[in-house]
Each structure stands twice: as structure tokens, then as C-alpha cells.
Amino acid sequence: MAREGKVIEDKATPIKKEWEAYARKGNWTVKGYEMVMAPTGPGKLEESREAEYMVIYRPHGVLYHHSYGLVSKFFKGLIEKQLLGTKCPKCNTVYCPPRVHCWNPACRVAETKWIELPLKGKVHTFSVMLFSADAFLEMLPFVLGYVQIEGADTALPIQIVTAPTEVFVGQKVRIRFREDRKGDLMDIYAMPVKGQAIPEDSCLHNNPQTIKDLNRDLENTYAFLEKRFGIKKEAAQRRWKAK
Amino acid sequence: MDDRRVAILGGGMYRPDRVRFDNAEEGVAMAYRQLLEDIPKLDPQEIQFVQSSYFSDHLNQQLCMSWIVQDYIGLHRKGGYRVEAGGSTPLDALINAYFLIKSGRYDLVLVAGWEWMSEVDTATTNEFIASASDTDWDFTVGGFYNGYYAALETRHMQLYGETIEDLGQIAVKNRNNAVHNPFSQWRAEHGTSYVALEDYYKDRIIAWPYRRWNCALISEGACCLLMGSEKVAKRLSKNPMWIDGVGIGTDSMRPGDRLANWAYHGVYKADEKIYPEKYEKPITPYPEMANFGFAREAAKQAYAQAGISDPLKELDVAELFAPYDGVELCLYEDLMFCPRGEGKTLIREGVVKRGGELPCQLSGGLTAFTHPVGATSLLQTLFLYWQLAGLIPKKLGDPTLQVKNARKAITTGHGGTGCQGGVIIYSRD
């Protein structure tokens, strides 16, 4: 039972046992402590005296069950290898990410209609992440893109799987589905269409020093990947090749 | 609304750092104690309301921490509550306290702000902060604010042509200010020597185009400010800093939605026109993902109230809420210090540097001074209070950062990816 609703498809029961146990294990009780000496007081560091502190270790695990609401259709679509958006019948704005209600004040919260979108778009903007949250560390270097899907008027956050030194604003991309889809935006990724020339004015490329510096710090990231996860540089780079 | 004036009457700080072991209520108490030393005529029992300011419940495994803080300093008989709006939390707390006094209901309000951000590891701190983004959408792709902000800056850079060197110049400027601020984290980490652009290039890229130096610090610290009506101001403070104008603005939660940003559509026609022609125009060209519409809205309101028509000329000193150096550059534009796309000129020509026409981030700002979220705007306001009162040499033990004859100042707030924030204009008599 998902709260008070009737379950019509169950892809949760097998994982509930595992994760509910984990959530219960971190139950806000103190598991250990350290005694620490450190500066106390409000003033300048050089004028501070030391005090003795007890630092406790208290885990807190949580398992959320969250409804995607009426945009659930979008996420179910990802699982079924469909990219969906919504269109306002009044102002014709196409939303991807979808909105079930149009946000144009002139449309007075009109209900939108679902439409299927093509698996292509262009990079509106991007960043090259050389550090990230725990869940994404193994995927570094991670190119975060905001991609405008063809036919949509807004931009979708999506991972761009490419050599970080080759991404640019305006780049055409194809949207692909991952094999192991769970129902979030990481079920899809973007891959640049082959054969595009990097524009001369690309802000990442218009100064050779920028690429040199990025390459230097990419090496640090590869070293981190190998040390932490045993992923070799070549293996990390192979991900960027289209299958 | 009552037309009486409202002022900052003084304040105290608890020195922020990456990790502090005094806990939050003790930090606030020590900042409050500094405030009481600075305002000896204040009887704590006179305080009518405590406006609390802290951002995250997750960081400390504690809801309603303001109740702990308010009772710890013995003010729990008085009215009080917290406001929360991500990074804009402390500025919103100041504006809310302003409204409470301006309404005529209260004459004396204590604003208490703090954040303790190192009780989980750094990656988890980043995750908790990023959970202020839309967790069904943006958060799921990368889970890291630095990445979203870096993408916003990439867009601005592509459209308007600032360079990595410009971002570096801002980083260097803020560091070389912070070495004169003995309360800054940069000085605690680095010491008092200046850095140069070549040092910036050696710094590691975190999320291109941002290096570590371009990004906000993680901090633990506190600040208390006393705010009062004109009725009590003169009795309690030799140097009341008046609030001349306030403004609050918002924008969409998800920055990607700003390409079809109907709430802003057609409102800023001049800025829409500046959009470079060689790029395909989205439905709404301003603010797009490149600028901060909330800041423009807030500035418009605050300037109108304060009677400011040429901010660059009329303001003497600025402490902006800029968690990333590209945000600082965009704010030059959105706060109308210069036209859209000209932010780079202000750093290149030294307008925003120490000794320039409008020095920004003399404290070091969020990237070199500190960023304990709920206290940040309070600390920046206290710094401006010292500026306008001419107290910088005394408080910092170093006259370098004092702006001579500073009369008018601006501070801003900024939450999410520019989702919400505000502007306050201060002045002295």
C-alpha cells in the first residue's frame, strides 16, 4: 500500500526491506564520541583561547515515499523510453520539464495537454563538474547541461555524456535512455550529434589557456576516480563514445 | 504604513570559520553579548521581538532551533519567529524586522542569525544545500549547486563575453580585501599576504567556469543586530544606520524554466533588446538563465523608496550576496550599476575595487569573508554599519577597508538559483 492509494504496479517491495532496515538503523542514537580541543569565543582567531568539546556521532537514515503527482506520467514515460512534455492549449507554450498547469498569468492556470517530444535538442548552457554529491562521484567528470528539447520552450537539466573539452552552447544533442531506468532524470542523458564544429566564440574554447587548465584539473579528477573507485582514465573516457 | 524611520542600532558577531565547536546557541549568545557591550544603554528587557534567521534544519538534526536560541539568551517571554528562504534567509529576516517596526507594532527588535554547516561531511553539506533546488528535477542531475550556478554563468559568459580572467579578477579582489578583515575565513586559512591573478589560475576548477576561489565558503558563525524605530534610535545609538528602502523579488524555482518566463515577459524591454542578435531569442530574453530578475525587481522597489536614480553614483559601498563570482558580476547589471552585459567593464575598470567608485565586497564577501547562511547578510550589514559609522579601523584594527565619508550603502540577499532575494538601502545622517 502506497499510503492510502491502491498499488497498480509494484517496483518497490523488493527494495523496501533493504532500505527500511537502513533507515531504522540510523535512528538518532549516539554511536560514539570524540573529545576535541579547539578555539572558543567570538573574537579574532589570534586572541582566542582553547576549550574542550565532546563531539557525538549520531546517524539519521530516512526512506521517503514521494508522489510525483500529476507529472508522474513524465517519469513513467522515461521508464517506457518516451520523452513527454506538456503544451498549453491557450498560449501554446511547450513545457519540458512538464507543467500540468500553465504558469502564464494570462492563461489563468489552464490545464495543459501531454505531447510526445523528439529525442533531440540543443545545449542552452552547461557546466563541467569536477566534484559533486556522493551519488554522482563515480560519473565524474560530469557535464551538467540545460538542454532545450526540440519543440519545447524551456530547458531540461540533463547529463551530457561527452568529452568535457568538447561541449559548447548551441551544440545539437540526441537524448538517449539508460538501460537501468528507475524513474528520474538520470534515466536519460544527452550525447552530442557527431561532426559539429566548435564555434570560434565558444566561451570554453575562445582562449586556449582555458582548455589547458581544464585538462590539468581533469587529470586530478581521473586520479581521484582511480584511487576512490578503481576506475581507470581510459574507462572513464570510453563512456563518451556512442554505442 | 507608519512613516517613521527604522534603523540598525548596532550589533555583534561571533567569528565564523569552517568549523566551530561552540554550538549555535552559544555562538549567538556571544554575538549578543558583543552587541550588549556595543550598546550599553540597552536593557535586554526592552527588546520586544526576536527575529531569528537560519537556513537548514537538516544540517543540525534540529527543527525549531530558534526556540533553543531565544531561550538561551533569556528572551523567551518575547515574541519571536524564524523566516527561511535559502540563501536569502538573513536578508529576509532583516526586511521582516523592518516591516515589524515600520508597522508601528514594535519599537525594538533583535535580529539573530546563525548557521552551523560542518556537522556532516562536505559532500552531505552540499547535498543538503542543493535540496533547496527542485529535488524532483534539478537536484537529480548532479545534486550540486556549484554546477547549476556554473551553468548560469556559462550562459552569461557566452552571451556577454566576460572571461575567466574577469572571474579571476573578482576572486583576487575579494581575497585581497579579506586579508584586511581579521574575522575572514580567507585570512584564517591563508594569512595576510596578497594574491595575484596567476595564483587564481593555479586554483582547482570545481565546476567550470568556477574554481574553488569563485565559490561560497562553508561556515559556522553567528551575528546579532539591534533594530529600532526613530523613537528609540537616538537614545540607544550614536550612529543609527537608517533603512531608506527595501525590496523583495522572486523568480522561478528551476532556472531552465526561465526561457519561457511569462511572469517577466515584456517587463524589461530594454534588457530584452540588448540580447545579442546572433543567438536565437527564447520566449523571454530577460532575465533568461543569464541574469537575476528577482534582483532587478527588488532593486527597483528599494531604489524607488530610497529615492535613488543613479545607484553607481549615489551609493558609496556595497556588500552583495554573491555566492559565486559570476553572480557578483551579474548583480552589477541587475542592480543597475551598469547596463546588461557591461558587468565585466566594472571589474576591468576597477569601479568595484577598493578605492573605486563603488567598492563591492570589501569584507571579502561570501567567497573570502564567510557564508554561515542564516548570519551572512547580518554580518554584511554589521560590516556596512561599521563602514557608515567610521568604525572599521577600530573594529578591524586596520584602516585599509574604511571608505571615507561613506553615507549610503546597499546589501542584497539571494536564495536558490536566484529564486528569491531582496535589496536593502542604508544611510547615515
- pLDDT digits 0-9 by tens, A134-165: 888 899 999 999 999 999 999 999 999 999 99
Task: Find the residue in A nearest to B27 (Cα).
Answer: A42
Residues in chain B within 8 Å Cβ distance of A137 = 123
Is the per-residue pLDDT at B2 higher than 60? Answer: no
Contact B31, B52 (CB under 8 A): no
What distance in Å separates the CA atoms of residue B289 and residue B153, rounded to the nearest whole number? 8
Quick one: what percent of chain B has pLDDT higher than 90? 96
Q: Which of residues 100-119 of A touch B (CB under 8 A)?
A: 103-106
* Confidence category of residue B1, pLDDT binned at 50, 70, 90: very low
Q: Which of residues 58-97 of A touch B (CB under 8 A)?
A: 58, 60, 66, 68, 71, 91, 93, 95, 97
Task: Find the residue in B nearest to A151 (Cα).
Answer: B282
- At residue B180's C-alpha, the angle toward residues B174 and B183, to 5°, is 90
Q: Which of residues 244-263 of B touch A (CB under 8 A)?
A: 252, 254-260, 262-263
Tell me the mean pLDDT in the region B260-279: 96
Query: B262 vs A104: CB contact, 8 Å cut-off?
Result: yes
ipTM of the complex: 0.95
For residue A23, the model assigns a pLDDT of 80
Query: B15 vs A106: CB contact, 8 Å cut-off?
Result: no
Cα distance between the two ends of chain A? 40
Residues in chain A within 8 Å Cβ distance of B34 = 42
DSSP state of B206: E
Q: Which of residues 197-236 of A touch B (CB under 8 A)?
A: 201-204, 207, 209-210, 213-214, 217, 220
Q: Distance of CA B264 to CAs A61, B254, B269, B296, B340, Å?
A: 41, 14, 10, 11, 16
- Indicate the average pLDDT of chain B: 97
For residue A241, the model assigns a pLDDT of 85
> To the nearest whole angstrom, how far is the Cα of B49 from the nearest Cα of chain A?
23
Q: Which residue has the cell 559601498?
A: B317
For residue A229, the model assigns a pLDDT of 93
* A148–B contact, CB cutoff 8 A: yes
Q: Which of residues 169-198 of A touch B (CB under 8 A)?
A: 169-170, 184-186
Nearest to B388 by CA among B401, B373, B375: B401
Tell me the mean pLDDT in the region B81-110: 97
> To the nearest whole angstrom, how far is the Cα of A14 from the nearest Cα of chain B?
22
- Indicate the average pLDDT of chain A: 94
Q: Which of B127, B154, B283 sits opposite A127 (nearest CB)?
A: B154
Q: Which of A48, A158, A213 sits opposite B201 (nearest CB)?
A: A213
* Confidence category of residue A243, pLDDT binned at 50, 70, 90: low
B152-189: pLDDT as tens digits: 999 999 999 999 999 999 999 999 999 999 999 999 99
A80-109: pLDDT as tens digits: 999 999 999 999 999 999 999 999 999 999
For residue B52, the model assigns a pLDDT of 98
* A165–B contact, CB cutoff 8 A: no
Tell me the mean pLDDT in the region B124-133: 90
For residue A3, the model assigns a pLDDT of 57
What distance in Å separates the CA atoms of residue B396 and residue B386, rounded to the nearest whole number? 10
Tell me the mean pLDDT in the region A70-75: 98
Tell me the mean pLDDT in the region B380-404: 98
Residues in chain A within 8 Å Cβ distance of B251 = none
Tell me the mean pLDDT in the region B258-273: 97
Query: B142 vs A46: CB contact, 8 Å cut-off?
Result: no
* A41–B contact, CB cutoff 8 A: yes
For residue B322, the model assigns a pLDDT of 98
The cell numbers describing B362, all together, are 570589501
Residue B220 in 3-state DSSP? strand
Query: B259 vs A43: CB contact, 8 Å cut-off?
Result: no
Contact B369, B379 (CB under 8 A): yes
Is the per-residue pLDDT at B119 higher than 60? Answer: yes
For residue A85, the model assigns a pLDDT of 98
* B378–A contact, CB cutoff 8 A: no
* Confidence category of residue B311, pLDDT binned at 50, 70, 90: very high
Contact B294, B419 (CB under 8 A): yes
Residue B119 in 3-state DSSP? coil
Is the per-residue pLDDT at A1 higher than 60? Answer: no
For residue A132, the model assigns a pLDDT of 84
DSSP state of B389: H
Query: A126 vs B126: CB contact, 8 Å cut-off?
Result: no
* B379–A contact, CB cutoff 8 A: no
Query: B147 vs A132: CB contact, 8 Å cut-off?
Result: yes
Task: Find the residue in B nearest to A62 (Cα).
Answer: B58
> To the nearest whole angstrom, how far is the Cα of A221 from the nearest Cα of chain B?
10
- Burial of residue B332 (CB within 10 Å: 0-12, 13-18, 19+) is buried
Is the per-residue pLDDT at A4 higher than 80? Answer: no
Residues in chain B within 8 Å Cβ distance of A148 = 259, 282
Query: Cβ contacts of residue B291 below 8 Å, gap of 6+?
Result: B156, B271, B330, B333, B334, B340
User: B6: part of which helix (H) or strand (E)?
Assistant: strand B6-17
* Confidence category of residue B379, pLDDT binned at 50, 70, 90: very high
> Could you write out the three-class secondary structure of chain A?
CECCECCCCCCCHHHHHHHHHHHHHCECCCCEEEEEEEECCCCCHHHCCEEEEEEEECCECCCCCCCCHHHHHHHHHHHCCCCEEEECCCCCCEECCCCCECCCHHHCCCECEEEECCCEEEEEEEEEECCCCHHHHHHCCEEEEEEEECCCCCCEEEEECCCHHHCCCCCEEEEEECCCCCCCHHHEEEEECCCCCCCCCCCCCCCHHHHHHHHHHHHHHHHHHHHHHCCCHHHHHHCCCCC
- Burial of residue B58 (CB within 10 Å: 0-12, 13-18, 19+) is middle
A166-189: pLDDT as tens digits: 999 999 999 999 999 999 999 999
Query: A97 vs B182: CB contact, 8 Å cut-off?
Result: no
* B212–A contact, CB cutoff 8 A: no
Return the exposure string of B75-100: e unless at least 16 CB atoms fall within 10 Å of the residue's CB, then b.
Answer: beebebebbbbbbbbbbbbbbbbbeb
For residue A2, the model assigns a pLDDT of 52
Query: A146 vs B255: CB contact, 8 Å cut-off?
Result: yes
Q: Which of residues 143-182 of B touch A (CB under 8 A)?
A: 143-144, 146-155, 157-158, 161, 163-164, 182
The residue ranking higher by pLDDT, A240 or B107, is: B107
